[in-house]
Amino acid sequence: MAVKALYDYDFPSADRIENFGDDQLVYVHWAGNPLFCSAAAFRAPRATPFGEFVAAMVQPWAASDPEFDPASIAGWQLFDEPLAADPQRSLAELGIGHKSLLTFRTA
């Protein structure tokens, strides 16, 4: 159903990827940890290797929980599918696109 309007209703998305240059938004959810109310949002370069993304952005955030142990990250999902998260490959190479939702669990 289209928006009812008196004119041609056509506006660009406020968060289209062009607005983020070489970067994009990525959401990361720590499943099973209710200390965090929601997933976190990050702005990261598409070319950044996954391992660097985790070390530079995800781990400092996860450390909001004083019990967080980086070695305990047990597995990743991209939306609902398991992700073979090769730390050397970039977000783009792993198919992690703009506004993707990543989930990890801890052992």
Partner 1 sequence: MSLTERPPATSAPAKKLPVKQRYSLLTRDLDWEPSYVNRADLYPYTSYEGIVVHDWDGWEDPFRLTVDAYHKYQSEKDKRLYAVLDSFAQSQGHLTLSDASYLNSIKLFIQGVTPLEYAAHRHFAYLARYLEGPAPRFAALCQSIDELRHAQTQIHTISNYNKYYGGFHSWSKMHDRVWYLSVTKSLFDDAMSAGPFEFLVSISFSFEYLLTNLLFVPFMSGASFNGDMPTMSFGFSAQSDESRHMTLGLEAIKFLLEQDEANVPIIQGWIDKWFWRSYRMSALVAGMMDYMLPKPVMSWKEAFELYFEDQMLGGLFPDLAYYGITPPRHVQDAIAEKDKLSHEVYKILHNFSFAAAFTTSTPSDDHMAWLSAQYPDTFDRYYRPTWEKHRSVEAGGGRVFFQGLPQLCQVCQIPIAFTERDDPTRISFRHSEFRGETFHTCSDGCQWIFDREPEKYVQAWLPVHQIYQGNCGGPTVPDVLAWYGIQEGDNGEYAGSPDQQQWAEWHQPAKGGN
Chain contacts with partner 1 (rule: CB under 8 A): 1-6, 9-17, 19-20, 25, 27, 29, 32, 34-43, 60-61, 63-66, 79, 97-101
Least distance (Å) from partner 1 to the CB of residue 105? 12
Least distance (Å) from partner 1 to the CB of residue 67? 8
Look at strands 81-83 and 100-106 and give their pairing: unpaired
**Exposed e or buried b for every residue in 19-41, given b needs 16+ CB within 10 A?**
eeeebbbbebbbeeeeeeeeebe
* Closer of 42 and 49 to partner 1 (Cβ): 42
Least distance (Å) from partner 1 to the CB of residue 103? 9
* Closer of 35 and 47 to partner 1 (Cβ): 35
Cα distances from 34 to residues 13, 15, 29, 68, 94, in angstroms, run: 32, 28, 11, 13, 28
